Structures are given as structure tokens and as C-alpha cells.
Amino acid sequence: MYRLISSLENFSVKETEIGITNVLGAFVGVNIGTDVSNLPSDTDIVAILKAHQFTHVRLYNADAQLLKALSGSGIEVMVGVTNEEVLGIGESAATAAAWVNKNVAAYMPSTNITAIGVGSEVLTVVPNAASVLVSAMNYLHKALVAANLNFQVKVSTPHSMDIIPKAFPPSTATFDSSWNSTLYQILQFLKNTNSYYMLNAYPYYGYTEGDGIFPIDYAIFRPLPSVKQIVDPNTLFHYSSMFDAMVDATYYAMEAANFSGIPVVVTEAGWPWLGGAKEPDANLENAETFNNNLIRRVLNNSGPPSHPTLPINTYIYELFNEDNRPGPISEKNWGVLFTNGTSVYPLTLGTSGQITGNSSSVFCVAKSDADSDKLQDGLNWACGQGRANCSAIQSGRPCYNPNTLENHASYAYNDYYQKMQSAGGTCDFDGTATTTNVDPSYGNCIFAGSSNSSTHGGFMPPSAFSPEVAPGSWSSYLQVSNFQLLMPAALLALVFV
């Protein structure tokens, strides 16, 4: 593989999947590594994902607390079977069924799990497990069938570029013949289950280990002058980026094995922003250029030259720097965000806007582990006596989905807090609320206090609220267009700030 040290990534999606970041179908997701000394809480991680409008995430394992925190978020999630778990699952259908029940079925449908990645680069990293890799995939798929989840959740396994010994020119690429039997079975499984080939594609390593064969511009998606353009001599296809060439090499390798119609999903792609003295190409400028160009490339919804109509859904490696990873300095510095939610460098997620993460505002949100009855009471009070503007969480409004008690309470708590803090209002709500610097806004749902909105709440109410609204009955008053508000003018002004 192009990576010196492997990481645990995996992915698959439903055939009809449409990413929020691009209505045409292509999307950019992000990996969440765990070798971090100061990893945010699970609730904060989800808030960070929502604040930066990531709609797809990949987990290295099946972390119970994070899967629980992702419940109701609408974010598409892939869970991973670790390399250490592959042997046990591959040797026992019962173990596979137990794994699916514990790590997938138990969280669905509230947590939107769409894929299981079986191991990470198993063929090149833990070859002793390769003999049971296909069995593990089959057992897991059968467990999904038994749970009636096989149409929602796909099974695959991520590969490095190392299983293609000679990736250029792409048209002549073939898989390492020593893996022919195993790869044939994997590809047959993907074809039979309508799944996806998972590829870890790293132009950074392709460039730095290429002995100067390719120019840096080719690795980071910069335009090449005509005299330096990379052309496949057999097809005369022009490759504007190493990324496209890697994806196309994978398609040609599958075709050489007599398989077609299996889409490629890039499960890892990124660029380190800091390296050691002998890693000059791992720098901030290259990382910013690569990832921003990668996002633009993916979201144009086109494929590589050999498959121009197949989008290349891709997951950026990675959300946070994994400072506990072994290896060179560059290995620890692939993150696009610091653990406090601020960005390492400006990154634009297509139509989703720019990741800045540097909000100076304080927001009030519901605690993920709060008692549901107390949350309901807090929501009722905020939208009633608390006079929060709760119009946006009504059905059909921008903040209605995800339709969860925690999400609705967060919106109401924050709206109350932003309006009443200066008058002594607190973020407590009987211990069910907490403050955060991470902007919880997502999509068209703008929380009060967000820099994304010129108004305080980002949504104007069709009517106001009565100070007499009883707990549990606030929503009915939202439907009354001519309801008269009886409160002092000063408080009335606060509601419409």
C-alpha cells in the first residue's frame, strides 16, 4: 500500500444513496480516528460533525457510546470489524450473528448505519487472517439477512493500493496474482450482494515514494501544463490527478479479473499537514490544497476517465489528528480539525459552506444522557413559560429533523439561553443542559447565536407564545395564527431579537 502504517477504514452505501452535500449523489465523508490523547466526548464529536455539516462518517470499530450519540443525527454511519475480530468472526457464523446483533441491529434505525467494513487492508496487513476474510464477510451478510437489514447495510473490506503492484498506466493494472483466489471470492461476494469495492487511495504516498516520477501538482489536483499532462498510452486517457489514476487502476484490475459493475468507494484519502525534517511535502499548504481540491473533485459527481458517469464517493482521512499513532511525525497530523472543533486550515465542503470551527459564541444544548422525562419537561417549559421561539422544530420546519427529543430540546434550550442570558437566564434545565463552543447548527437549521445567521435565531415565528402556555401544550399554540401575546414590551422585544 502507499501508507507506511495502516489504519482501520471501511465503507459501503446503498445503491440509491444521495448525499446531502450534493443532491446529484456524490458525497464527501470523514474518518474518525481514536488514537487521540484528548478525544472530545461522544456528544461533542456529534456536535462537531453537525456543526461542520458532515453527513457521512466512518468509525474504526463499533464504539457503543459514539453509536448511541449518533442516534437521531441523520448522519450515515459505517462501523468496522477490527482486524483482531476478523479471525473469530470468520471462523464462526454464531460469532458473526452476535456481532451484528450487538453492534448494528441494536442501534438501528435510530442510528443510521449503512455499512460494515470487515477489517482494514487485511490482505497486506494481517495476511494470516486472509484465509477467513471471505467467510467473515459471508457470515456477517447472512446475519444481516436474518435481521432483515441486508438492504440497508452493505458489507465489504477496504484494500490498499499495494494489492495492485503496478498501478500506472491504469489500463494495464492487475491485482497481485498471489491473492487471485481470495480476491476472486471477494469480488464475487461484492457482485452478488450489490456492494462496493473499498479503496484506500493516498496520492501523498504515491508522490513521496515515487522518486520524482510524478510532479507535485499531479498529486494535489493542481492543473498541469499540456507538456506535463499524464496520459495512458494504451487508452490515451488524460489523468488530471493521481487520485483519478488510482481509482481507474482499481477498475481496470477488476476488469482484468473479469468483474465489472462494482463501484469503487474511496475509504481513505487525505494529506498530512505537518511532518518531520525528512517529510517536507507534509505541510499546511499542500494539505489545504489537496483536501479542498479533493472535495471539489468528488462533488462534481463524475468518475475517472474509464467510468466518467460513476461518482467517486470519498472519505477524508481524517477528522482529528491522532497524536498517539506510532511512526513518523506526518502519521500524527492528518486531521482537518483540532479536538476543540476549530479547523487546522480553511476547508470548504462544497455547497455546505466553509469549515471554520472558530466560533466565539456559547451555545446551550441538551445532554445526550439526560433523563427523557426531564428533557420533555425542559422542552415544554422552554417553549412555554420560557418563551423560546420553537417554530423551527415544528413538522416541516428547518429544525424538525432529526425528530428526536434531544435535538428539539437543544434547539429550544439554546433559543431561550441566547435571549435570556443577559437577564439572568441559565443553561441548566434541571441538569439536562450544558454549554458548548461548538455551533450545533446543521443544514438549514441555524441555532440562535450562530455566525451563520444575521438574526438571533435564524427563523422568524409565525406567531408568538403565551406566558400562560402549559407544559406539554406549546405545540398547539403554534398553529394559532392570531394568538395574542400578553407580556411586557421589553420581553416581547427579547423574543424577536
Q: What is the pLDDT of residues 213-253, one digit of tens each?
A: 899 999 999 988 878 889 999 999 999 999 999 999 999 99
pTM of the complete model? 0.69
In the prediction, which pLDDT does 494 show? 31
Q: Say yes or no to pLDDT of 169 above 90.
A: yes
Average pLDDT, the chain: 83
**How sure is the predictor about 451, in pLDDT bands with cuts at 50, 70 and 90?**
low
**How sure is the predictor about 425, in pLDDT bands with cuts at 50, 70 and 90?**
confident
From the list 76, 85, 268, 288, the catalytic residue is: 268
**How sure is the predictor about 456, in pLDDT bands with cuts at 50, 70 and 90?**
very low
From the list 76, 85, 121, 318, the catalytic residue is: 121
- Is 268 one of the catalytic residues? yes
Write out the three cell numbers for 451: 455566525
Q: Say yes or no to pLDDT of 483 above 90.
A: no
In the prediction, which pLDDT does 400 show? 86
Higher pLDDT pick, 25 / 347: 347
- Is 121 one of the catalytic residues? yes
Fold adopted by 28-337? TIM Barrel (3.20.20)
Domain ranges of the chain: 28-337, 363-436
In the prediction, which pLDDT does 360 show? 53
Distance between CA 400 and CA 487 in Å, rounded?
A: 27
